[in-house]
Amino acid sequence: MSGHSSTFFGLHMEVPTGLNVIFLFILILLAGAMAGLILCVFSLDVNRLNGIIVQGPTTVDGVRAKKVLVVLERPHWLLITLLLWNDIALEMMPLLFNMMLNPFVSIVVSTGITLVFCEMLPQAVFIHHALAVVAFLCPFIQVLMWLSAPIAWPIGKLLDHLVGDKEAVFFRRRDLREVIRYQEVLHQKLRGRVSRSETGPLSLRDSGNDEGGEEDLTKEEITIMLNVLSLSENTAKDMLQLGIEDMYCLHEDTVITHEVVNTVAFQGYNFVLVYKDKKDPTNVTHALMAKALILLTFRNEEDKIQVKDVPLLPLERFDCDMFGIDVFDQLQRLSPTMAVIVERDPLANKEKVLGILSLSNVTEQLHQTAFKAEMDPESRSPMQTMLRSWKTYRRINDKSKLDHSRPSEGSPGHRVHPAHKSISTGRLPPLNVPPLQDFDSAPEALEPAVPQRSDGSSMKGERSDC
């Protein structure tokens, strides 16, 4: 085997060409491995690796994460080791090429090989399979760390004191929202590729799942997470959907008639707000649950039952500047799960009621959807069964009264007052309202029958439901 005589570190030696090629091949592999490891080792987040271990310590990724964490415990020592061996390999290659080629050609060939095989290809491959590659090369990395310990370890310890350890990454709410939105964009692009490839020979139908077999984030999950992160940035005033002027209210002295029950039941209200001060109908203090009113439908008309005679539920008061997350936390501890939102004036020592906020309202905002309330006529709850039974009872009862009160032939005529014709014929009086809405419906969607207070004033524009 022919050889080449050249100067190597000031020494005149003759190295066989085959051995020279083997050394070059080893140096190229070493330089490429170091370049790829420098990029992908430090792209692995320690918190992410710990999370993988917690989720599945015996899974493939869990075992890999344990191996990687061993070498990442001393990041500066690891960094100096990788840089040191990378520089050794890159500096040795031109010297070996110079033993086989002339200086100019050796520089050109060495630069081209370094750029392609020691930089671009390793980094492109390693970064796409960072965890698997680093875990596979962990034993090799540890050997290099101990071989270079006399130089790398002291420098690494010095960097530990001068620079310090890498700080943990903490995401703020804004950062988390952007990460979630970015994930949604990636999933939309992936679903677009899947839909285009479903007609081809190779389908990407299952490419949206990760190695653990978990599904991608759904649109509902993304919506809930984004809204939960926004709770602490919104106040109780921002979360109000209806003002107190648009809610159905009754004075505590109001007599509960069938007309009042009709309005509450057929509008789908879950509760009625109650106030004490006739001069300020917006200053509500209690809530009357609609269930209690329905139970009064079978009483005698002669019984004069006022609102205050029925068990009322006191309402807590929250400041309008309370953060949404605090409102959500406090509402879960209340019964009923609703509160009056007030705006306080410290100078005048007064409170202005802005509206009612319930746990159902907050939950609907988190889900960005409307839930059917128990009193919603379109729901199939037991309360709606009771309401339908009550309607049937009223028709039969009113028809029976009409038959007993109808005059016989030849007797003086008995005119039925026009205001009672709808009841006397077995039909409930029309309320002239759209289909039932719940508490979160737009104000213009509800136009209930206007009841009268006990003092004869109109209740127009005052309503409440849940």
- State the SS3 of 187-252: HHHHHHHHHHHCCCCCCCCCCCCCCCCCCCCCHHHHHHHHHHHHHHHCEHHHHCCCCHHHCEEEEC
Q: What is the rounded average pLDDT of the residues 70-94?
A: 90
Residue 431 has pLDDT above 70, yes or no: no
Contact 23, 16 (CB under 8 A): no
Confidence of residue 245 (pLDDT cuts 50, 70, 90): confident
Helix (H) or strand (E) holding 22: helix 17-41
Place 106 in a pLDDT band, splitting at 50, 70 and 90: confident
Spatial distance between the Cα atoms of 439 and 270, rounded to a whole number of angstroms: 8
Reply yes or no on whether the pLDDT at 217 is more than 80: no
Q: What is the pLDDT of residues 288-307, one digit of tens each?
A: 888 777 667 666 667 788 88
Handedness of CA 345, 348, 351, 353 (dihedral sign): negative
Instruction: Supply the pLDDT for residue 315.
Output: 92
Q: Confidence class of residue 12 from pLDDT cuts 50, 70 and 90?
A: low
Average pLDDT for 277-285:
89
| Mean pLDDT in residue range 82-86 | 93
Query: Looking at residue 34, what is its pLDDT?
Result: 92
The DSSP bridge partners found for residue 323 are 235
Task: Examine residue 94 and say whether the peptide bond preceding it is cis (omega within 30 degrees of 0).
Answer: no
How high is the pLDDT of residue 83? 93
Give me the mean pLDDT over the 195-209 stretch: 47
Domains of the chain: residue spans and CATH: 3-162 (no CATH), 171-198+215-233 (no CATH), 238-402+420-445 (3.10.580.10)
Helix (H) or strand (E) holding 91: helix 75-100
Tokens standing for residue 238? 């921002």
pLDDT at 350: 84
Res 15: pLDDT: 65
pLDDT in tens, 441-459: 333 333 334 444 444 444 4
Per cent of the chain over pLDDT 70 is 68
The mean per-residue pLDDT over the stretch 230-247 comes to 86
Per-residue pLDDT band for 8 (boundaries 50, 70, 90) equals low
Tell me which of 318-332, 350-364, 398-412 is least confident.
398-412
Helix/strand/coil for 282: coil
pLDDT tier at 207 (50, 70, 90 boundaries)?
very low
Largest CA distance in the chain: 145
Judged by average pLDDT, the poorest of 188-202, 227-241, 291-305, 349-363 is 188-202
More confident residue, 370 or 437: 370
More reliable by pLDDT, 403 or 165? 165
Token pair of 76 as six digits:
């500066």
Q: What is the pLDDT of residue 80?
A: 93
**From 52-66, 276-290, 298-312, 415-429, the region with the lowest mean pLDDT:** 415-429
- Residue bearing the bigger pLDDT, 210 or 99: 99
Given this model, what pLDDT does residue 297 score? 63
Q: Which residues of 162-198 are buried (b: 16+ CB within 10 A; e: fewer)?
A: eeeeeeeeeeeeeeebeebeeebeebeeeeeeeeeee
Q: Measured between alpha carbons, how far is residue 440 from residues 317, 325, 358, 462, 465 in Å? A: 20, 19, 10, 15, 8
> Which stretches of 354-459 are DSSP H helices?
359-367, 382-405, 421-424
pTM: 0.52
pLDDT (mean) for 194-198: 58
Residue 270 identity: N
pLDDT at 197 (0 to 100): 57
Whether pLDDT at 281 is above 50: yes
Output the CA–CA distances (angstroms, integers) from residue 266 to 126, 190, 311, in the order listed.
Answer: 67, 48, 21
pLDDT number for residue 414:
33
Distance (Å, whole) CA 267 – CA 463: 10
How far is 365 from 241, CA to CA, in rounded Å? 10
Phi, then psi, of 276 in degrees rounded to 5:
-105, -35
Q: Is the dihedral of CA 101, 105, 106, 112 positive or negative?
A: negative
Q: What is the pLDDT of residues 122-162, one digit of tens each?
A: 888 888 888 999 999 999 999 999 999 999 999 999 988 88
- Reported confidence tier of residue 385, pLDDT bands at 50, 70, 90: low
35, 137 in Cβ contact below 8 A? no
Least confident of 14-18, 107-111, 134-138: 14-18
- CA–CA distance, 236 with 338 (Å, rounded to integer): 12
Q: What is the mean pLDDT of the chain?
A: 74
Q: In the predicted model, what is the mean pLDDT of residues 367-380? A: 67
Of the listed ranges 91-95, 238-242, 266-270, 422-426, the least confidently predicted one is: 422-426
Evaluate if residue 423 carries a pLDDT over 60: no
pLDDT at res. 422: 29
Average of per-residue pLDDT across 302-315:
86
Q: Residue 439 — pLDDT band, cuts 50, 70, 90?
A: very low
Residue scoring higher pLDDT (275 or 19): 275
11 class by beta-carbon count within 10 Å (0-12 exposed, 13-18 middle, 19+ buried): exposed
In the chain, the amino acid numbered 355 is G
DSSP state of 406: S
Which residue in the block uniquely carries the two structure tokens 């069964």? 385
